[in-house]
Amino acid sequence: MKAFTLVELLVSIAIFTVITTIAVVNNSQFNSSILLTNLAYEIGLSIRQAQVYGITVKQTSLDPTKFNSGYGIHFDLTADSKSYILFEDSKLSGGEVDHEYGSGDTDIETFRIQKGNSISNIYINGANRSDVDITFLRPNPNAYIKYAEGGNNYYSTAEICIKSPQGTMRKVVVESTGQLSVVADDMTNCNN
């Protein structure tokens, strides 16, 4: 019966160690990518939740007999790149919603971003911005996309770029038609 020599045993252990190291490193990168993709879909679902609240019969917080508030998502990188807010866009004294997050609006839920991930950039119609409000109002499923210094203008596209600590990126794209998509391959704007 023949056994391994010491050299053969050391070579086998070295090969096993290299393969194990590669598998562990790649597994960590794979997990990071999966977590970031899940976060992108969670952001998309939060925006969809605001749309559902905005176009269905969710009663207002100020008057439970009314069902005419708008609902939206507020992103603000200057305040916090690791959270965003689902809010009720309450009626102003004139009877109209302003389609932006501000005083008089009611916070419904604050979403916290975990695991070291963060919102890295926000683009509205291709221009870099520090904030965006995406709101919905009955009976229209379309999105109202605004930012703080944008006045009363509405925009056609908002891109929310998210980034992992390892540098992996995803992008959530919201169209004014109400269409949402999560993008992993076209990081135009996000890498700037």
Q: CA–CA distance from 169 to each of 24, 43, 111, 188 (Å)?
A: 21, 14, 19, 11
Can you give the C-alpha Rg of the chain in angstroms?
Answer: 23
124 neighbors 145 (Cβ within 8 angstroms): yes
pLDDT at position 65 is 60
Token readout for 90 is 């309450």
pLDDT score of 70 = 86
Q: Angle 146-148-154 (CA atoms, 0-180°, nearest 5)? A: 20
pLDDT along the chain (192 residues), means of 10: 81 91 75 88 96 79 68 94 92 73 88 93 94 91 90 93 90 95 82 65
* pTM across the whole model: 0.82
What is residue 91's predicted lDDT score, i.e. its pLDDT? 67
